[in-house]
Amino acid sequence: MEPKLDLLDSSGTLADLISTEDFMEHIRNIAIIAHVDHGKTTLVDCLLKQSGTFRANQATEERMMDSMDLEREKGITIRAKNAAFKYKDYHVNIVDTPGHADFGGEVERIMNMIDGVLLVVDAAEGPQAQTRFVLRKALEAGAKPIVVINKIDRDNAAPHKVLDQVFELFMALHATDEQLDFPVIYASAKQGFAKVEMNHESTTMEPLFDAVIKHIPPPRAHAGEEFKMLVANLDYSDYLGRIAFGKIVSGKVKLADPIVCIHGDGRKSKSKTTAIFHFEGMKRIEIQEAHAGDIIGITGFEDVFIGETITDIEDRQPLPFVPIDPPTIQMQFAVNDGPLAGQEGKLVTARHIRERLIKETRTNVALRVADTDMTSIFEVSGRGEMQIAILVEQMRREGYEVLVSRPEVIYRRDKEGNLQEPIEKLFLEVPKDAMGSIMENLANRRGEITNMNHIGDTVSIEAFIPTRGLIGFETDLVNQTRGMGVMSHLFHEYGADRGDIAARKNGSLVSMEDGEATTYALNMVQERGRLMVEPGDKIYTGMIVGENARENDIPVNPCKAKRLTNMRSQGDGKGIALDAPLKLSLERALEYISSDEYVEATPKSLRLRKKELDETKRKRTSQSRVVKVMEEPVA
């Protein structure tokens, strides 16, 4: 008979009678992984509710794990987050991970903490691009998978067909025989039930709870005296400083114990534990002692980063940290030097921007920041424009003003010196009647079609395409398929340079005056193209006020006022009907701008402008394709 396990007694310490081995046997560390919008966060909510984490009368929100405002607004998970629940005598630590490819770094680093994964797959859509990525990382880490086919209550659900596709995916990723023998759970996180077979009856998640306890192994940890923990996540407390989260690989740690941090560069710094945190539900509970196998948070070091080792004495060897995939795109962040700078934001200097970017790299391992020859410009590298757009949006909300350039891919050279660029694998589902225009678009972006299947009125397309060819493609897809197209993509490899790709076909309407936009002037400007501003907007020289109908840029005057005369007049702007202006979101604006343009992001406004505001100086600047080459050769 198994011993009864209460992980925490009334004082918040571990029960004295339970050995470390027994403690580890009753811990399960799992991650929820899936493609974006396949129901990870909803499933975590359901597990927390049905495990008794919340009181019966406790008010809870939908998607509780999406704690950031941007996560709730966009309906996606951006940061990996920890939670825990108790089921019978077991303590289950659970990590909710992002599903969007741009935030893959969050998935990669948490693989050091967990021993099993719940692979969630939509019962109608089946495995998608990010499903392949997250599953590959889980299999490489040796995590035990449980396949959860979610949304079986959908009208077009085909769970058995999806299961076959999942098995084929496991085979394609060279899963071991043990990994191929994965258990399957059919579920509806929204309805709150799970079952082992489709013909079973169930009204709760109990079959999934039982599968986690039965199939996920206890933590891979050692109950020795040698305390070691690999830092996999970071947070910050105004009272305690930096909090380092990770799984205890061996030994145990108590409050006020001396500890050593072995940094990435080999340095070793000493401190002592000022607090130890344990998860219960979504809350951090302060405890006195923690043992091998548990996922905890430790405070005591201000200078600690993801991938570093915390141990008990200086003589210990650091734990290996699996490096994550390198960034593939790069953008410039610059100080806002426009005429309207400082009017809306409070944090506008190069020092403010640099400190904020460095702070971001401490918790976002997929992001890299480098100084440039100009003290007011910084180069930020990441996985995709959405990842960096999220950072810009966060900075806007915190009171920063910043200029951001168009994404540029990071090139590198192989051992023979040949130029290579990042190639993505693209998955598309488009209506049949839009297939011709989409194929032409892909050809213009140097895409290579590898597979095509006709399924009813839709066509599924697989292609290899340069990362730079994807910039702006999503907008084209929405327009050409009238919103019916679906796309997902995944970094594939560095391949041979595909040559020039046609940039935006339309030029810009650039203001040549400072002032305020008038209806009278905009009525004349809109004859040249599509407007991006409205009457009353503040305008400055070099600001982009619209899209030209032709390929070249045109200087215009959107601030011109109607001259007053002694004759009777209809008045300034009266009776003039302007077309609705083109309003771009931040992600769309970053894709839209050309290489000689910036997006000016402030707490209240998004403006497009030329990098060089003076027209004469702009003409002198030669337009050339800049190639950024990484220093290390490709193996």
Q: DSSP code of 374?
A: S
Cα of first residue to Cα of last residue in the chain, in angstroms, is 54
Comparing C-alpha atoms, which of 26, 91, 24, 110 is closest to residue 53? 91
Whole-angstrom CA distances from 127 to 132, 191, 389, 478, 488 are: 7, 22, 26, 22, 11
Phi-psi group of 553: left, alpha or beta (phi > 0 → left; psi -120 to 50 → alpha; rest → beta): beta
628 is in an annotated binding site: no
203 is in an annotated binding site: no
560 is in an annotated binding site: no
Burial profile 428-439: b = 16 or more Cβ within 10 angstroms, e = fewer: bbbbeebbeebb
CA distance 589 to 603: 16
Q: Which residue shows structure tokens 């009776």?
A: 575
The answer to whether the CB of 337 falls within 8 A of the CB of 123 is: no
Quick check: helix, strand or coil at residue 73? helix
The answer to whether the CB of 530 falls within 8 A of the CB of 547 is: yes
Which residues, including other chains, have CB under 8 Å from residue 464's CB and lie 6 or more apart? 423, 424, 425, 426, 447, 448, 450, 492, 495
CA distance 11 to 79: 32
Which residues, including other chains, have CB under 8 Å from residue 417's CB and lie 6 or more apart? none
Q: Which residue shows structure tokens 């980063």?
A: 305
Residue 289 identity (one-letter amino acid) = E
536 is in an annotated binding site: no
Comparing C-alpha atoms, which of 300, 299, 245 is closest to residue 80? 245
40 is in an annotated binding site: yes
Whole-angstrom CA distances from 169 to 122, 160, 183, 398, 514 are: 14, 14, 15, 42, 58
372 is in an annotated binding site: no
CA distance 488 to 473: 11
CA distance 533 to 531: 6
List beta partners, residue 426: 463, 489
41 is in an annotated binding site: yes
Please give the angle made by the CA atoms of 162, 167 and 169, to the nearest 5 degrees. Answer: 95
Which residues, including other chains, have CB under 8 Å from residue 260's CB and lie 6 or more apart? 268, 269, 270, 271, 310, 311, 312, 313, 314, 316
Whole-angstrom CA distances from 261 to 112, 230, 232, 271, 557 are: 17, 10, 14, 8, 60
CA distance 259 to 297: 14
39 is in an annotated binding site: yes
Indicate the Cα dihedral angle 493, 497, 499, 504, nearest 10°. 40
Residue 573 identity (one-letter amino acid) = G
Whole-angstrom CA distances from 161 to 157, 158, 164, 197, 553 are: 9, 6, 5, 14, 52
The answer to whether the CB of 45 falls within 8 A of the CB of 142 is: no
The answer to whether the CB of 169 falls within 8 A of the CB of 427 is: no
CA distance 516 to 525: 14
Residues of each annotated binding site for GTP: 37-42, 150-153
Residues of each annotated binding site: 37-42, 150-153
